Structure 1
Amino acid sequence: MRRCQLTKPSDHEVEDYRRRLGDAILSARKRRRLTQKSAADAAGVTRQFFGLLERGGINVSLETLLRICSVLETTPALLFREVEQNGRSASEFEGTQEPSVGD
């Protein structure tokens, strides 16, 4: 049995993924026709936090992401699907490889 080999994501990869997650949150908020303030208030975060999140400038905890998804009437899975569809896969970043999984 081969072991799965994962590489640590680069700072660039993390920043890019965070930005794309922010874009997906922004799109979901706009589809619901919510302001940052109303979405933030309903999710229990500040408008400033919500703005940073939409710009990809901050990490988000799972608990907060779940609250935001509830407000936006979506799921983390749908947000991450949008992130993946709108971005590059990990193998497209220089120096990274898709993990190999053995039997």
Structure 2
Amino acid sequence: MSLPESVGNRIRELRKAKGWTQEQLAEAAGLHYSYIGGVERGDRNISLETLEKIILALQVPPFELFQFDENTDRKEIINKLMLLINSRETTELEILTTITKNIVDLIELQQKIN
């Protein structure tokens, strides 16, 4: 798979994780919906400026567009988590991190017991 196809697939995954249509992403990014379709298929050779518009519209860190993982179920869950926490304040992120760590510790403890 080519890089434009991989990035396009990743944009599609992030868009769907947000529950958006191509039209909604296009509107948020200031682009035409048919252009978004071409990007997602890997048909368009997009500029960095256009990529930035899409990243800002999706509200994800730029590296997220290059996180290619073969396990699509796992990736979809991680995408949903990222979108949930991305817009949170630093203090809220610290609280969420502490809670998540406690939950992971409990899961690992339970696995050791069993």
By the TM > 0.5 criterion, same fold? yes
Matches within 5 A, 1:88-103: none
Q: Give me the whole-angstrom Cα distance separating, in 1, the residues matched to 2:58 and 2:14.
A: 6
Structure 1 match to 2:24: 38
Pick 1 or 2: higher relative contact order, CA cutoff 8 A, min separation 6: 1
Q: 1:71 aligns with which of 45, 54, 57?
A: 57
Partner SS, residue 31 of structure 2: coil
RMSD, aligned CA: 1.3
When the two structures are aligned, how many residues end up with a matched partner? 70
Task: Note the C-alpha offset of 1:32.
Answer: 0.5
Structure 1 gaps, min length 5: 1-14, 87-103
1:19 pairs with 2:27: no
Q: Which aligned segments of 4 or more residues in structure 1 are displaced greater than 3 angstroms? A: none
Task: Note the C-alpha offset of 1:43.
Answer: 0.4
Task: Note the C-alpha offset of 1:75.
Answer: 2.3
Task: Note the C-alpha offset of 1:33.
Answer: 0.5
- Identity among equivalent positions (%) equals 36
Structure number having the greater helix percentage: 2
Structure 2 gaps, min length 5: 71-114
| Structure with larger Rg | 2
Q: Give me the whole-angstrom Cα distance separating, in 2, the residues matched to 1:81 and 1:32.
A: 17
The TM-score with structure 1 as length reference comes to 0.63
Structure 1 match to 2:46: 60
> Is contact 1:18-1:57 (8 Å) kept?
yes
